[in-house]
Amino acid sequence: MEPQEIQLSANVELICPYCGIDADICKASVSSMRLGPKTKILYCSSRVYDNCPIFLAKLLRRR
């Protein structure tokens, strides 16, 4: 790997900053929604958390 690639990959978060693997409650949710195991596996504990509808709603509320 080139040094630039290593730096870029270090900046990518591997899990959702609002949930994480061990959390049962989504902090991105207005109502502190409890997460099911399927949702946690699909969105929270992978790099595709930015496709999560709750995460996207959180980003839209900030604007």
Domain boundaries, the chain: 14-61
Q: Is residue 50 a contact partner of residue 56, using CB atoms and an 8 Å limit?
A: yes
Say whether 53 sits in a helix, a strand or coil: helix
CA–CA distances in Å: residue 17 to residues 1, 2, 4, 55: 26, 27, 24, 9
> Greater confidence, 9 or 28?
28
Average confidence (pLDDT) over 11-40: 80
Residue among 13, 19, 50, 47 at smallest CA distance from 34:
19
Does residue 8 surpass a pLDDT of 60? no
From CA 29, how far away is CA 32, in angstroms rounded?
5
- Say if residue 3's pLDDT is above 50: no
pLDDT for the residue 43: 86
